[in-house]
A = this chain, B = another copy of it.
Amino acid sequence: MSNAAKLDVLGVGNAIVDVLAETDDAFLVAEGIAKGGMTLIDTARANALYSRMPAGIEASGGSAANTMAGIASLGGKGAYIGKVANDQLGEVFAHDIRAIGVDYRTNPLIGGEPTARCLILITPDAQRSMNTFLGASSYLGEADLDAELIRSAQITYLEGYLFDRPEAKAAFFAAARIAHDAGRKVALTLSDTFCVARHHAEFTQLLSHVDILFANEGEAGELTGEKDFDASVTALTGKCPIVCVTHGPRGSVIAANGQTHRIAAAPVEHVVDTTGAGDLYAAGVLYGITAGLDLAEAGRIGSLAAAEVISHVGPRPQRSLKALIS
């Protein structure tokens, strides 16, 4: 039996500031950018692409951090672990996540690479194509894990994007161990099809330490090798107690305890920017689970949170999600 948890969810991920700009398909083609995907870029490419992309706005992002913003907006208690540099964008990231009520205390990287930036190009069809310069964020390691924080959260939520460095991989396994030793749950989002392809074996290995899995249809297919959506969900069900797979405008499926819940997408009048859709879906589901709601209701909250974030530019909620779901 575990003690009562002080926190609902602890997120662990890449601490990133987004640069969002509207562009057209021709720009993506000219720059060789895969539409709708996430590409890792180095300093030189980041500078070159930034010099050619349109004027933008800057907003705190990062997948798990966006999820934590959603949980806070829903009224949940959260904390976040992720690494920025001691620079202006790092201050922006730290300010924003604290200002929404998320406990954030990770030491910034000193004298190294700058805070991570994601250059996000939004096309008129509301698709976002992400170009991520990981910078300081990928220097997160085991030393940054606050074991007391992990033990105090009902769920520790890990962002698959972090898997691109061995130190972060090791930190994930360590975090899962600390959480389970304290009788807590571990959740994981697969984050990106290419990330799954790059680290297939390790993701499969980590999955045996995961209680709640988030994936979209592409990631689920990549991890299981199944081409059919339902077949990939079934395959994942055998590996993880609770499996949540999103399916774009068709909604999502949550499978657990031999039951499959099909969740409809919430209606959106005008889809503006899909950045953060999956992150906010996860926020709703995790909030629902920690609030003791059943999985169908948790899924409904996930759909509502995702619908809010895709109706405006930017990866975090602009309205109170707590007010929206009540």
Binding site for B on A (CB under 8 A): 19, 21, 50-51, 53-60, 69, 87-89, 92, 95-97, 99-100, 114-115, 314, 316
Main secondary structure of the interface of A (DSSP, over half): mixed
Q: List the B side residues contacting A58 at CB < 8 Å.
A: 57-59, 92
A101 to chain B: closest residue by CB: B55
A50 partner, pick from B54, B95, B114, beta carbons under 8 A: B95
| Contact, CB under 8 Å: A95 / B60 | no
Closest CB in chain B relative to A311 CB, distance in Å: 14
What is the distance, in angstroms, from A31's C-beta to the closest C-beta of chain B? 14
A100-B316 in contact given A88-B89, A95-B50, A114-B88 (Cβ < 8 Å): no
Residues of B within 8 A of A314 (CB): 57
Residues in B with CB closer than 8 Å to A92 are 19, 58
Q: How far is the CB of A123 from the nearest CB of chain B, in Å?
A: 15
- Report chain B residues within 8 Å CB of A21: 99
Please name 25 pairs of A and B residues whose Cβ atoms are closer than 8 Å in the assembled complex, sorted by A: A19-B92, A21-B99, A50-B95, A51-B95, A53-B99, A54-B99, A55-B60, A55-B69, A55-B97, A55-B99, A55-B100, A55-B316, A56-B96, A56-B99, A57-B57, A57-B58, A57-B314, A58-B58, A58-B59, A58-B92, A87-B87, A87-B88, A88-B89, A88-B114, A88-B115
Residue of B nearest to A90 (CB): B88
**A97 CB contacts on chain B under 8 angstroms:** 55
Bound CA–CA A94/B92 (angstroms): 19
Residues of B within 8 A of A57 (CB): 57-59, 314
| List of B residues within 8 angstroms of A114 by Cβ | 88
CA distance A51 to B104 in the complex (A): 13
- Minimal Cβ-Cβ distance residue in B for A88: B88
Chain B residue contacts of A88, Cβ below 8 A: 87-89, 114-115
Beyond the given A55-B60, A57-B314, A88-B88, please list 19 additional residue pairs across the A-B interface where CB-CB is below 8 A. Answer: A21-B99, A50-B95, A51-B95, A54-B99, A54-B100, A55-B95, A55-B96, A55-B100, A55-B316, A56-B96, A56-B99, A57-B58, A58-B58, A58-B59, A58-B92, A87-B87, A87-B88, A88-B89, A88-B115
Chain B's nearest CB lies how many Å from the CB of A109? Answer: 14
Note all chain B residues with C-beta closer than 8 A to A100.
Answer: 54-55
Q: How far is the CB of A275 from chain B (nearest CB, A)?
A: 13
Instruction: Give complex CA distance A87, B58 in Å.
Output: 15
| Complex Cα spacing A95 to B92, Å | 18
